[in-house]
Structure 1
Amino acid sequence: MTTSDYATYIAGLPRVLAAAATVYRDARGRVLLVEPNYRDGWALPGGTVESDRGESPRQAARRETVEEIGLDLKPGRLLAVDWVRGPGRPPIAAYLYDGGVLGEADLQAIRLQEEELLSWELVERDALVGYLRGDLARRLTAALEVLDTGGGTAELEDGIPATG
């Protein structure tokens, strides 16, 4: 196969987007959510994996945390990976990492990225569904269950456990 044949082959392959986010909690178990200014609803600190620049999901989770809330924290274990379908776009492979428990100093150091975010809030677990859209709420619920049980990474499709 020539170089141009290979390039043509690669250009014809299906597309997949990738995103990465991190679950941060406080000592009371509340989850840190951010409020974007570019869409309705709340989110976790995170965003698009810049794969064209060679960025991995883990690197993206860390970069997005720095950009969005001003904390440079190394992500912990992978809690969930979700295959998220959506109208008018390729599927997204969404990676969700454990950010651990933030102490008071961390919480005081949060600085929002004003270009994209309106606010942040620590939200009780039983109130999360009211803040998040369906697939993200289900993904976060699965990730919190992994943390609670010490189980393995959750494999999801549209926020629902994959069954094969």
Structure 2
Amino acid sequence: MTTSDDYAAYIAGLPRVLAGAATLFRDERGRVLLVEPNYREGWALPGGTIESGDGETPRQGARRETAEEIGLDLTPGRLLAVDWVRGVARPPIVAYVYDGGVLAREQFDAIRIQEAELLSWRLVDRADLAGYLPDRLGRRVGAALAVLDSGAGAAELEDGEPVTG
């Protein structure tokens, strides 16, 4: 075996991690833009899987997924949260949440959902998010909103809970 074969075997034997990225958009009243997937229960932020095998970065993935899902091609703002999400019957997921900022009425009017994956979208008051978002995702979005409120650096999370050092 050559050195490149040894390296390939080494890489193939390493643990796997999935990665996803989403963007947190708000309106002038502070409501959060959520999308309703057609492939699972509950709502989500616009976003999805990072195509890391193609060299895509988390930020690029958030932008691409937002453009694909809701038709808005916008550069994500700062990183708000990173969440290590343990899985059952799947590898862990590293989930990145970026600030999408406050959108203008015209931008909301321009939203076109990707019907292959989404049923609808809506703006949800912060107080009502728990009724739309699954537990870990709800905590992740709450942590991202807390970062926006406080001006602090990005939140480090595990299963939606803040990591204390």
Q: Equivalent residue for 2:52?
A: 51
Q: Equivalent residue for 1:126?
A: 127
- Which ranges in structure 2 are unaligned for 5 or more consecutive residues? none
Once the two structures are TM-superposed, the CA of residue 163 in structure 1 deviates from its matched residue by: 2.1
| Partner SS for 1:136 | helix
Deviations along 1:63-108, whole A, 9 cap, x unmatched?
0000000000000000000000010000000000000001011000
The aligned amino acid for 2:158 is: E
Q: How does 1:31-42 map to 2 (within 5 A)?
A: 31-42=32-43
The aligned amino acid for 2:160 is: G
Q: Equivalent residue for 1:17?
A: 18
Supply the distance in 2 between the matched residues of 1:122 and 1:18 (Cα, whole angstroms).
26
**Moved beyond 3 Å, runs of 4+:** none
Q: Equivalent residue for 1:5?
A: 6
Q: Equivalent residue for 1:77?
A: 78
Supply the distance in 1 between the matched residues of 2:115 and 2:140 (Cα, whole angstroms).
26
Supply the distance in 1 between the matched residues of 2:162 and 2:40 (Cα, whole angstroms).
26
Normalising to structure 2: TM-score of the pair? Answer: 0.98
Q: Equivalent residue for 1:103?
A: 104
The aligned amino acid for 1:116 is: E
- Which ranges in structure 1 are unaligned for 5 or more consecutive residues? none
Once the two structures are TM-superposed, the CA of residue 149 in structure 1 deviates from its matched residue by: 0.4
Supply the distance in 2 between the matched residues of 1:152 and 1:162 (Cα, whole angstroms).
13
Cα RMSD (Å): 0.7
Deviations along 1:125-161, whole A, 9 cap, x unmatched?
0000000001000000000000000001000000001
Once the two structures are TM-superposed, the CA of residue 22 in structure 1 deviates from its matched residue by: 0.3
Q: Aligned pairs, how many?
A: 164
1:27 aligns with 2:28: yes
| Partner SS for 2:33 | strand
